Chains A and B, each alone.
Chain A
Amino acid sequence: MEIDFGEYDLVLDGDKWPGVPLWFSSLTQFSYAVCSTRNLESTVSENFVISLPDIDGGLAAIALGSLAAEIERIEKTANFDEISIHQLKVGMRVSIESGIAGQQKVTGQVKTISLDDKTPKIEIGSRWIAAKFIQKIFLIPSEAGNPQIFERKSEMTKDSSSLLTWLTSSSVPIHRALLDIRSTSKIIEDEFEWEFSSQRNSNPLRVKDAIHPIATRQPGSGWSIVLNSSESEELAWLKLKSELSAAELDADVSILTSGAAILAQIENTNSKIIFSIFGRDDRQLLATELAIKQKFEYSNPLSRKINSEILCSGIELISFEVPINV
Chain B
Amino acid sequence: MSRLKRLNSLYKDADLPIKHLAIEDGLLRTFSREVRKLNSEMREWLDVSPDWDDALSNLRRADWRLRNQPAEFTITHPAKVYLADGLVKLNGLYSNLGDEIRKICRSIIENGNAIIRSEESTLNSNLLKLIYESKNQGAKNIVVILRQEDLVVPFIKLLEVNLILDVVVDTGFGALHKKYPMDKLIVVGNILDYSPSIFTSLFSEHGTTLLGFSWVPEQDSIGTALSNLALKPIQIEVVHSVTSDTKDAVDVSHFLEPSIEIASRQLRSIAKNVYTQMDKSNPDEEVFPCRAYLLAGNNVVFLPTKEGAIDSIDMQADFGSRVQRMPIGSIVIGSVILLRVGKSDSDSIFEMANAIGGQAAQEYRNLQMAWKNALKLRISTLGSQLVIKQLKDLGIKNPWIGEWKSFKNNIRPESDDYFKKILTYLSIQPTETMNAMNALRRLHLVAAMRLRKMLKEKFENANLQTIHEKGFLIVDLGETPEIAKLGAFVCLSIGNDIFEVPETAVKQLQKVVN
Contact = CB atoms under 8 A, between A and B. Distances in A.
A230 B449 contact: yes
Given A43-B415, A282-B225, A289-B229, A260 B448 contact: no
Interface stretch (A9-17, A68-76, A98-106, A158-166): A9-17
Interface string A20-53: 0111000000000000000000010000010101
B329 interface: yes
B438 A260 contact: no
B417 A43 contact: yes
B383 to A, nearest CB: 24
A302 B230 CA distance: 12
Interface string B298-329: 00000000010100100000001101111101
Interface in B349-386: 356
Contacts of B448: 261, 264
A316 interface: yes
B330 A263 contact: no
B452 interface: yes
A37 to B, nearest CB: 16
A228 B448 CA distance: 12
Interface in B1-34: 2-8, 10-11, 14-15
A79 B14 CA distance: 46
A185 interface: yes
Interface string B249-262: 00000000000000
A199 interface: no
Nearest to B453: A230
A246 B449 contact: no
Contacts, number: 177
A319 interface: yes
Given A285-B225, A308-B231, A13 B3 contact: yes
B206 interface: no
A260 B231 CA distance: 24
B327 A317 contact: no
Nearest to B397: A325
Contacts of A287: 309, 325-327
Contacts of A128: none
B459 to A, nearest CB: 13
B450 interface: yes
A283 B200 contact: no
Closest 9 CB pairs of A and B: A314-B14, A285-B225, A246-B438, A280-B201, A23-B11, A12-B4, A15-B2, A246-B439, A317-B232
Interface residues of B, number: 63
Contacts of B10: 53-54, 314
Contact of B446 (A51, A237, A289, A317): A237
A53 B203 contact: yes
A167 B369 CA distance: 44
B321 to A, nearest CB: 7
A233 B450 contact: yes
Contacts of A237: 356, 442, 446
Interface string B437-477: 01101100110111011000000000000000000000000
A311 B232 contact: yes
> Interface size class for chain A?
35 or more
Interface stretch (A147-155, A205-213, A290-298): A290-298
B234 interface: yes
A281 interface: yes
A313 B233 contact: no
B307 to A, nearest CB: 6
A250 interface: yes
Given A185-B321, A261-B325, A318-B231, 6 more contacts: A12-B3, A15-B3, A23-B7, A43-B417, A261-B448, A316-B234
A247 interface: yes
A134 interface: no
Given A13-B2, A281-B176, A317 B231 contact: yes
A280 B225 CA distance: 9
A280 B307 contact: no
B166 interface: no
A185 to B, nearest CB: 7
A84 interface: no
Contacts of B83: none
Contact of B226 (A228, A260, A289, A325): A289
B226 A246 contact: no
B449 A51 contact: no
Contact of B398 (A57, A311, A325): A325
A62 interface: no
B362 to A, nearest CB: 15
B131 interface: no
A261 B229 contact: no
A230 B436 CA distance: 22
Contacts of A260: 321, 323-325, 452
A15 B4 contact: yes
A184 B323 CA distance: 11
A15 B446 CA distance: 36
Contacts of A246: 435-436, 438-439, 442
Contacts of A290: 307, 309, 327, 329
Contacts of A285: 197, 224-226
Given A17-B8, A51-B226, A53-B11, A283 B330 contact: yes
Interface string A258-273: 0111111000101000
A280 B224 contact: yes
Given A237-B446, A281-B176, A282-B196, A308 B232 contact: yes
